[in-house]
Amino acid sequence: MGTECLLSLNYYMETLADLYLIAGVPGVGKTMIGSLVAKMMRTRFIDLPDFVKSERLYTAYDKSSKSYIVDVRTLSAALGSVIEEEIRPPIVATHIAFKPRGCRVLKVVVLRKNPLRLLATLRSRGYPAQKVAANVAAELMDEQYVEFTHKFDGSRVAQLDVTHLGRYEAAKKAVKLLSSESSGDTVDWVSLLERGSKLNKLLLFLSKYS
Ligand SMILES: Nc1ncnc2c1ncn2[C@@H]1O[C@H](COP(=O)(O)OP(=O)(O)OP(=O)(O)O)[C@@H](O)[C@H]1O
Ligand SMILES: [Mg+2]
């Protein structure tokens, strides 16, 4: 590689815009906790669903699942340009594992919530049973955590179990995780529910709607 190439590569690397991600399945508390984290870190909070709506980045709306359909490449480009303008790394709350274009994800905190508690949250939102079941199943099977560790360097992804935390306590813990190398909590819902003899009932509900 010539000197010019090396110089331009260095320039590119130095100009990457930084950000933090708060991830997790719907209903886990990304908006509530992420916005508090941003306040504590004195930086901007970008909630993905709001951003998609305000920038009209959706391609369709699926009535049956009450969800917007998003083109991830368009979203990545649009969010990347917004993040480039920020002086401090913003906090982005997302349930989609993606990297904003031209940006560097410093750390991801995946929020986790006991599937039974999540089930109650999503039901109280009036979501269709199928959407409730899909998200509870995803939480039970660590889907988001696995997806984010595949998308990003695993050492940059931490988990935070918020089941028994108030929002301030959860936000404070998330701030600590974002600025450390810790991988956070170990989560194993299957074993936990099995020990409490609650797994079979949950699996029965999930099998009805999947
Ligand atoms: N630590 C907490 N303590 C008590 N209630 C909480 C906590 N975190 C979240 N909640 C409640 O859980 C629900 C879901 O929170 P929130 O809307 O922030 O989730 P979300 O992950 O942003 O969901 P979505 O992906 O659909 O936007 C809300 O009703 C909120 O009041
Ligand atoms: Mg939200």
Please report which ligand is nearest the Cα atom of 47: 2
The edge-to-edge listing of strands for the beta sheet with 45-47 is 45-47, 91-94, 17-23, 103-112, 157-161
How many Cα atoms are found within 13 Å in the side-chain-facing hemisphere of 141? Answer: 10
Pocket of ligand 1 (CB under 6 A): 24, 26-33, 49, 95, 121, 162, 165-167, 170
Alpha carbons 201 and 158: distance in angstroms, whole number? 29
Does this model's pTM top 0.95? My answer is no
- Cβ-contact 145, 119 below 8 angstroms: no
- Cβ-contact 187, 118 below 8 angstroms: no
Nearest residue to 97 via CA among 57, 143, 62, 136: 143
Helix boundaries (H) for 24-142: 30-40, 48-54, 72-84, 115-124, 129-140
Alpha carbons 111 and 145: distance in angstroms, whole number? 9
pLDDT tens figures, 156-171: 999 999 999 999 999 9
Alpha carbons 124 and 43: distance in angstroms, whole number? 31
Which of 25, 28, 32, 168 has most ligand 1 atoms within 8 Å of CB, for mutation?
Answer: 32
Nearest residue to 156 via CA among 181, 187, 179: 181
How many Cα atoms are found within 13 Å in the side-chain-facing hemisphere of 195? Answer: 5
pLDDT tens figures, 33-58: 999 999 999 999 999 999 999 999 99
How far is the centre of ligand 1, averaged over its atoms, from the C-alpha of 32 (Å)?
6
**Would you place residue 67 in the very low, low, confident or very high pLDDT band (cuts 50, 70, 90)?**
confident
pLDDT tens figures, 95-136: 999 999 999 999 999 999 999 999 999 999 999 999 999 999
Domains, in order of start, for the chain? 3-114+143-186 (3.40.50.300)
